[in-house]
Structure 1
Amino acid sequence: MSSGFPPIDEQMEVLLRGAVDVVEEDALRQRLAQSRAEGRPLLIKTGFDPTAPDLHLGHAVLLRKMGHFQQLGHRVVFLVGDFTAMIGDPTGKKATRPQLKREQVLANAETYQEQAWKVLDRELTEIQHNSEWLGALGAEGLVRLAGSYTLARMMEREDFRDRFEKHEPISIHELLYPLTQGYDSVVMEADVELGGHDQLLNLLVGRDLMRARGMEPQIALTVPLLVGTDGTQKMSKSLGNAIAFEDSPREMFGRTMSIPDDLMWDWRLLLTDMDETEIERQKADAERGRASPRDLKADLAHDLVRRFHGPAAADEARTEFDRMFRSGGVPDEIETRVVPSGQPLFTLIADTGLTASRAEARRLIQQGAVSLDGEKIGDPYFTLPDGVNVLLKVGKRRFLQVVAPAANAAD
């Protein structure tokens, strides 16, 4: 009964594309072989804590890997961490995260799922909520779960260790997060758990808990943390370097065009289906001057908009970008600057060095020489709202990609 699944080597090639950690690769190959021989799909678990209402391209990397398993015929579970979200994942955090109310978590979860269907096949995706079993644990069950792991092992985590050494607070409930996530795997009997690279230690706790109960430990497979539009830090709404699934086609296209040229190859690998050989060929052509990085980046932007908004919207966004920006002589590389929202435009222009003085900035605005994403702004006191990412043009040759982060945004 192996005809329902592709050959093992073919599956491994698809699943290892863009992967960072596979614990353990040989075990994954063996599990795939057993699945193929028995005609039984593997159970793939991926947890999402809905701490914010919107998904961005960083989430798409993980969703795409889930999609790879779906395409190969495996059983993919989108696990809504409605219980764990109320704890708050401490991974990489320098301080205790605020606890969310259940109503807020459930509202976020609804929008998460609707946006996820832009990447996943709705008909092939199972939705589960970990509150179903974690909520039923009760005090006794939670104490027993806590007793199955040592504090010494938990303190091996870099984030906890750093905070402890700096005498910064670590709440007891934070120590429970990896345990509850691991317990999800026990209950679900997961074959594979997917997560971002920063989640590896949490995924390994799941392996430990399964092994302690005499179960075959899950395979842990992680994907990279997508670098944001600034080209340096991981994509995060709180850093103002994210592109959301719900951004308009025009915004998505323009923000993709703002990324550094050398970042587009990772985005190609992680966010599109382009063959890796073709990616390397395009990269070599760009480095040797045989292809325009700007044109290749526009192709990437078009592909992303098509994925999230459809081909017609992608064509329109590209046409609009060409009309509005290329005719205006926008340079290939544009600096990105994060600025506070609520600042008057004339002070922002002067403070970022686009003019020599605030008086000059005010004069240029009043003369119609200042635009945001191609739209002229005539009010010197115009302020940027929270969460915008726009191209600021001053005069004919001064450009700046301006980001005003969303207030209280989560990753």
Structure 2
Amino acid sequence: MNPPDTESPKKAAQPLSDGVKEALAVSLRGCDELIPQEDWVRKLQRSEATGAPLRIKLGLDPTAPDIHIGHTVVLNKMRQLQDLGHTVVFLIGDFTSLIGDPSGRNTTRPPLTAEQIKINAETYYKQASLVLDPSKTEIRYNSEWSDPLGARGMIQLASRYTVARMMERNDFHDRFKGGQSISVHEFLYPLMQGYDSVALKSDLELGGTDQKFNLLVGRHLQQEYGQEPQCVLTMPLLEGLDGVDKMSKSKNNYIGISEDPNTMFAKVLSISDVLMWRWYTLLSFKSEAEIAALKAEVEGGRNPKDAKVALAKEITARFHSAAAADAAEQDFINRSKGGVPDEIPEVSLSGAPLGIAQLLKQAGLAASTSEGNRLIDGGGVRVDSSVVSDKGLKLEAGIYVVQVGKRKFARVTLA
């Protein structure tokens, strides 16, 4: 359930210019909803006529010290709109993080401490700048206007929204019916997020589909404060490496944007051929025409791995460099052929002769000797390119290249 949107004036019956058509197509690419589309068209037309850029808002609470590529779906959309000449406002929710976002939760979300927020916020914008153009980005913190509100201002803000409307929100509604507690402070979160739009005079706010209610609250509050209401653009939540659940660190199906190039490249190649095309739509900066042409080639018989390699290189290059992406591709080829990467960890051990399972544990290639034995049983351990089949193998003093699976290597000096 979401708050009903107010009716918009009727759309002006005038043909769209090529520039507005392009901007609308960019806005709609991969999006879940654009509310209301006719208002957004009018804003685009006015911007084109006056030369005044529109204000595009994205708010992120620094709830973790870093972000994964699932978070960049909305950042990509921001960059696309930024490239059309509009103003991007990257809002760090240092105040709203103190409340805790209840979106999609079936329990109260613990608020962060001010110290945690400060630490996390320091890395957020730096990472977001790998997608956004920093020279064209306005960075703001919502404590700028939320702290000065004080108790009196908070009461006045709360008077502009009803409890009945608040209880239409899915997670609040479900928790209430299920007899689960809802703290009063949680009602403040969508109000404060909505007030951000008032303070920033936002023309468009972006968010994931789980943020729809909060974004519409912002639209309502702008009307309450006599402003032209913002439009709302929601982007789907990106499925993780498993292709089932949304990308999440807790589910270990994510790619962190600060991960090393080789790991990032290999993880992209691990996704399914079906998921690849969805990632192309939501993560790639290739045009829709380019993606359609590539998909037609694959359907015509071209190896889908070629398309996946191109996607892996594009994503890796974005967060590292083109040279790093090329090197990651070569590293993956070497691993696939059973070759040894150019750079592998150097480990020095003592105690020769040393049992292979114990060596795997001490070299950090297995969590325990029992896991090492399981890896050997599965044929996943190589020493100097030869598969180890004997769990009783003991290595004498010397230098060995030890491999576990396709990705773990170590050059072990055993004394």
TM-score by length of 2: 0.80
**1:364 shift after superposition:** 8.8
The whole-number CA distance in structure 2 between the counterparts of 1:365 and 1:130 is 61
Closer, same or farther: CA 143–364 of 1 in aligned 2, 3 Å? farther
The whole-number CA distance in structure 2 between the counterparts of 1:221 and 1:175 is 22
Q: 2:249 pairs with 233, 237, 242, which one?
A: 237
The whole-number CA distance in structure 2 between the counterparts of 1:294 and 1:364 is 39
Instruction: Identify the residue that residue 368 of structure 2 maps to in structure 1.
Output: 344
How big is the alpha-carbon RMSD for the aligned residues of Structure 1 and Structure 2?
2.7
Instruction: Identify the residue that residue 407 of structure 2 maps to in structure 1.
Output: 373
The whole-number CA distance in structure 2 between the counterparts of 1:365 and 1:124 is 61
Tell whether 2:323 aligns with 1:312: yes
Instruction: Identify the residue that residue 158 of structure 2 maps to in structure 1.
Output: 146
The whole-number CA distance in structure 2 between the counterparts of 1:299 and 1:7 is 29
**1:372 shift after superposition:** 5.7
Closer, same or farther: CA 370–6 of 1 in aligned 2, 3 Å? same
The whole-number CA distance in structure 2 between the counterparts of 1:120 and 1:204 is 25
The whole-number CA distance in structure 2 between the counterparts of 1:264 and 1:66 is 22
Closer, same or farther: CA 264–366 of 1 in aligned 2, 3 Å? farther
Question: Is the partner of 1:135 in helix, strand or coil?
Answer: helix
Closer, same or farther: CA 366–111 of 1 in aligned 2, 3 Å? farther
The whole-number CA distance in structure 1 between the counterparts of 2:235 and 2:369 is 39
Instruction: Identify the residue that residue 382 of structure 1 maps to in structure 2.
Output: none
**1:61 shift after superposition:** 1.0
The whole-number CA distance in structure 1 between the counterparts of 2:152 and 2:262 is 53
Question: Is the partner of 1:185 in helix, strand or coil?
Answer: helix
**1:248 shift after superposition:** 0.3
Question: Is the partner of 1:363 in helix, strand or coil?
Answer: coil
Tell whether 2:288 aligns with 1:276: yes
Contact 2:403 2:409 in 1 (8 A): no
Q: 1:363 pairs with 365, 383, 391, which one?
A: 391
The whole-number CA distance in structure 1 between the counterparts of 2:280 and 2:369 is 35
Q: 2:47 pairs with 35, 44, 49, which one?
A: 35
Q: Which has the larger radius of gyration?
A: 2
Q: 2:23 pairs with 11, 16, 21, which one?
A: 11
Instruction: Identify the residue that residue 136 of structure 1 maps to in structure 2.
Output: 148
Instruction: Identify the residue that residue 333 of structure 1 maps to in structure 2.
Output: none
Q: 1:90 pairs with 97, 102, 105, which one?
A: 102
The whole-number CA distance in structure 2 between the counterparts of 1:363 and 1:369 is 15
Query: 1:26-105 alignment to 2 at 5 Å?
Result: 26-105=38-117
Matched residue type, 1:245 = I
Question: Is the partner of 1:265 in helix, strand or coil?
Answer: helix
**1:203 shift after superposition:** 0.3
Closer, same or farther: CA 212–124 of 1 in aligned 2, 3 Å? same
The whole-number CA distance in structure 1 between the counterparts of 2:392 and 2:173 is 52
Q: 2:266 pairs with 218, 239, 254, which one?
A: 254
**1:277 shift after superposition:** 2.9
Q: After alignment, is 137-146 or 368-377 more displaced?
A: 368-377
Unmatched tracts of structure 1, length 5 or more: 329-341, 379-411
Query: 1:279-298 alignment to 2 at 5 Å?
Result: 279-288=291-300, 290-298=301-309
Matched residue type, 1:302 = K
Q: How many residues align?
A: 358
Closer, same or farther: CA 344–214 of 1 in aligned 2, 3 Å? same
The whole-number CA distance in structure 2 between the counterparts of 1:15 and 1:33 is 14
Matched residue type, 1:144 = Q
The whole-number CA distance in structure 1 between the counterparts of 2:316 and 2:369 is 29
Question: Is the partner of 1:12 in helix, strand or coil?
Answer: helix
